[in-house]
Copies of this chain bind each other. A is one copy, B any other.
């Protein structure tokens, strides 16, 4: 199979107001043939350059109403146009440009890049199979400075970690969910009306006045999943990965000081991540 990445910007105007979408599109194609590998016969090979042209032409003709719809359109184009394609997958992610505001007034053509979580999506299809759509958010860095612990874990002769009930919980979140049978979804409507991003932040943080105790990274991952499944009916399966950053309280006793969780250093290694995929009615993987 072949993979192909292109980055571009789609500009769109309504009167004097500008709208900008910059995306990175990665298209995977698998052909039903093998002759290009075995014999060097290129007659069915679709060049990288052609794939790039198709993506740009689709963006020019129809714009990028939502990244999900754009990914679907690209998949459909390849499946419809090229009978030698056996499988196609399109991944699209957004550069997080946000409109500038001056004293609350939106600017008509100026933008700032605010990378506090990146929206992405994936559309995937095998020949004669259904078109499946995924959406998600990644690179969302969050921290709770209390209401987190880790106790009662499995112990043996290799255990040196002390139990803690007031640690820092910090990590980078990756969430990806699949929409079931998606005919005519308004993907931006699902995203904004269900406040998916807000929902993730709340499940992580708990109520603003007191938070909610997290007994482990695993439980926090599960809270985020349950929250999205309960709020967004179109989501069928959700995968959450939390890349943990550990912080150690610096021992200052030999410097004559008592450090009451005031100064902490991030621990680079070992680092870990915990991940879980949860579906409606059944567990897929734990």
Cα–Cα, bound, A113→B141 (Å): 5
Q: Are B110 and A59 in contact (CB under 8 A)?
A: no
Q: Are A271 and B4 in contact (CB under 8 A)?
A: yes
Residue of B39, B100, B160 near A201 (CB, 8 A) is B100
Contact with B along A90-119 (1 / 0, CB 8 A): 000000010011100111111111111000
Q: What copy number does this chain have within its complex? A: 4
B-facing residues in A207-227 (Cβ within 8 Å): 207-211, 214-216, 218-219, 221-222
Q: Are B263 and A160 in contact (CB under 8 A)?
A: no
B-facing residues in A245-262 (Cβ within 8 Å): 246-247, 250, 252, 254-257, 259, 261-262
Q: Which of A121-129, A183-191, A229-237, A273-281 sits within the interface?
A: A273-281
Q: Are A7 and B116 in contact (CB under 8 A)?
A: no
Contact residues in B for A210 (Cβ distance below 8 Å): 16, 108
Q: Are A59 and B263 in contact (CB under 8 A)?
A: yes
Residue of B18, B59, B221 near A145 (CB, 8 A) is B18
B-facing residues in A145-176 (Cβ within 8 Å): 145-147, 150-154, 156-161, 168
Closest chain B residue to A226, Cβ basis = B38
Contact with B along A27-47 (1 / 0, CB 8 A): 000110110111111111111
A182 within 8 A of B: no
Q: Are B3 and A37 in contact (CB under 8 A)?
A: no
Q: How far is the CB of A36 from chain B (nearest CB, A)?
A: 4
A198 within 8 A of B: yes
Q: How far is the CB of A88 from chain B (nearest CB, A)?
A: 15
A80 within 8 A of B: no
Q: Are B143 and A8 in contact (CB under 8 A)?
A: no
Q: How many chain-A residues does the 8 Å CB contact rule pick out?
A: 128
Q: Are A11 and B261 in contact (CB under 8 A)?
A: yes
Q: Are A265 and B269 in contact (CB under 8 A)?
A: yes
A132 within 8 A of B: no
Q: Are A150 and B265 in contact (CB under 8 A)?
A: no
Q: Are B219 and A6 in contact (CB under 8 A)?
A: no
Q: How far is the CB of A25 from chain B (nearest CB, A)?
A: 9
Cα–Cα, bound, A262→B5 (Å): 20
Residue of B1, B52, B160, B273 near A286 (CB, 8 A) is B1
23 examples of A-B residue contacts, CB within 8 angstroms: A1-B275, A4-B272, A6-B265, A11-B264, A12-B262, A40-B214, A42-B150, A42-B151, A43-B154, A48-B244, A48-B272, A49-B159, A50-B156, A50-B159, A51-B270, A53-B158, A56-B252, A57-B255, A102-B207, A106-B208, A108-B208, A109-B146, A111-B143
